[in-house]
């Protein structure tokens, strides 16, 4: 059985109307954040985009999101973020557990991701969820004052 989202939150498919509310979440967590156009480009076939929301109807507020791409039986986690005010509540872990279950149901065999070497919380989360370190992309990410390696991780499903 999959864990429930904390605090009465729920997950649904991302829509173009969500993008303005996602940009502050993205900007808070990324030194080189995605633009609205990048989010919009991901709302097409070949991607799985979800938001975690608090509230209902017109009071609904996105607190987290994720974007995956998929081709044949492989998926790639492109982006995941939780609003700073909602971090450390298990939202990202729950979102990823639901995602993994959905990928298994869709006959996806592996999920790949890159994570900043400095993102210790992200790395620990992925390791707890069964991802294994498989490589490194030297100077993959831009950051203030230089570049940073990406660690490549994967999980067989």
Residues annotated as catalytic (active site), given as ranges:
114, 126
Cβ–Cβ under 8 Å, residues 48 and 77 = no
Name the burial class of residue 102, with classes exposed (0-12), middle (13-18) and buried (19+) by CB atoms within 10 angstroms of its CB: middle
Query: Which long-range contacts does 117-122 make (Cβ < 8 Å, 24+ apart)?
Result: 117/148, 117/149, 117/150, 117/151, 118/143, 118/148
Separation between Cα atoms, residue 34 and residue 28, nearest integer Å? 11
C-alpha distances out from residue 60 to 10, 18, 113, Å: 10, 10, 29
């Amino acid at each position: 059985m999959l864990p429930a989202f904390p605090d009465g939150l729920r997950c649904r498919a991302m829509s173009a109307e969500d993008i303005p509310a996602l940009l502050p979440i993205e900007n808070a967590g990324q030194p080189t954040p995605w633009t609205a156009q990048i989010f919009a480009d991901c709302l097409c076939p070949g991607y799985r985009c979800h938001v975690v929301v608090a509230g209902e109807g017109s009071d609904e507020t996105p607190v987290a999101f994720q974007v995956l791409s998929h081709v044949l039986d492989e998926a790639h986690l492109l982006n995941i973020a939780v609003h700073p005010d909602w971090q450390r509540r298990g939202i990202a872990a729950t979102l990823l557990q639901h995602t993994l279950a959905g990928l298994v149901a869709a006959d996806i065999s592996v999920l790949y991701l890159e994570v900043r070497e400095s993102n210790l919380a992200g790395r620990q989360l992925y390791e707890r969820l069964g991802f294994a370190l498989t490589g490194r992309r030297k100077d993959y990410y831009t950051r203030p004052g230089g570049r940073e390696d990406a660690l490549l991780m994967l999980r067989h499903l």
